[in-house]
Amino acid sequence: MPENIMHRDRTVTKWIEEISRVIVQEKDAQLDIEQKTAANDLVTNMDKWVEKELVKRIRTAYPKDRIVGEEGFGDSIKDMSGTVWFVDPIDGTLNFVLQNENFALMLAIFEDGVPVQSYIYDITLNKLYSAIKGEGVSCNGQQMSKPKDVSLCDGMLATNSSIMIEDKYDKVRKIARKSLGLRLVGSAGLETVEVAKGSIAAYIATNLKPWDVAPGILFMEELGLKATQFNNEPLDLLKNNNIVFAAPKAHEEIMRLIN
């Protein structure tokens, strides 16, 4: 592994450990909860604190880099040149507020549009999943093996609530019918991890933001899995995407059913 990537990996891992320790310590404290665009679109003081803290650390250690963060403390970008960090301080804010589990802290680093490092930290289970270009994927430092290539009929399908609520994608029902079962966790990051582990054959979701999907690209790439938009094009991190993260066989079936 190149020295600069190894060093940045150690730095990011330390930041994630330190910041998430505060999230766990403060878990029972009263949250300040605000609505953003709707009653199901929430942000808490903790989302904001985590993003501010990460942005501060990135700007100090890597002042030339650009940052795209969900809660708006980063930069707005129009291209992917140079080093770009994607930050989702708490992925699954509704779960964080209502369940106190099933949420993750996520970071992804791209160099000239190429994903080089990705992190998804399941805070309550204390599991840090990281992907490094050319080095595979690990969970708490233990290398993960490539999952089996499964068809839809041998696995489960995960999806997000916008597909179900908006019902724009009628074809999704056909895909669900072919699978063994349907799962909705409410955290794009943790659903990405399930695909990486092979416990879910495919995750399909509409209207995901760049920070929801950025880490998943490298996880899929390193494990021989697929990450595309519904139209089979690569993901575009300058806009929202309808995405499919899947085992190759399941991906091929989904492409046939959706297009």
Q: Which residues bind ligand IPD (CB under 6 A)?
A: 70, 88, 91-93, 160-161, 186-188, 205, 208, 212
Binding mask 86-125 for Ca ion (x = CB under 5 A): --x-xx-x--------------------------------
Alpha helical stretches, state H, 180-229: 188-197, 210-222
Binding segment (CB under 5 A) for Ca ion, from list 14-22, 83-91, 167-175, 215-223: 83-91
What is the distance between the alpha carbons of residues 23 and 105, in angstroms, rounded to a whole number? Answer: 10
Token output for 116:
């080089």
Contacts of 70 (CB under 8 A, 6+ apart): 47, 51, 87, 88, 89, 209, 211
E strands in the chain: 33-35, 42-44, 66-69, 83-91, 104-111, 114-122, 127-132, 136-139, 142-143, 156-159, 181-183, 202-208, 226-229, 241-246
The torsion defined by the Cα of 11, 81, 54 and 108, in degrees rounded to 10, comes to: -70
The least distance separating ligand IPD from the CB of residue 115, rounded to whole angstroms, comes to 18
The distance of closest approach from Cβ of residue 219 to ligand IPD in the complex, given in angstroms and rounded to an integer, is 15
- Under rule CB under 5 A, how many of the chain's residues touch Ca ion? 6
Contact partner at residue 187 from ligand IPD, Ca ion, none, CB < 5 to 8 Å by partner kind: ligand IPD
Closest CB to Ca ion: residue number: 91
Q: Is 32 within any annotated ligand binding site? A: no
Alpha-helical segments (H) within 62-137: 93-98
Q: Is 221 annotated as a binding residue?
A: no
**Shortest distance (Å) from residue 98 CB to ligand IPD:** 11
Q: Is 88 annotated as a binding residue?
A: yes
How many residues belong to the chain?
Answer: 259
List the x/- string, 219-248, binding to Ca ion by CB under 5 A. ------------------------------
Name the residue nearer to Ca ion (CB basis): 91 or 122: 91
- From Ca ion, ligand IPD, none, interface partner of 160 (C-beta below 5 to 8 A by class): ligand IPD
Distance between CA atoms of residues 1 and 185, nearest Å: 34
Q: Which residues bind Ca ion (CB under 5 A)?
A: 70, 88, 90-91, 93, 212
Annotated binding site for Mg(2+): 70, 88, 90-91, 212
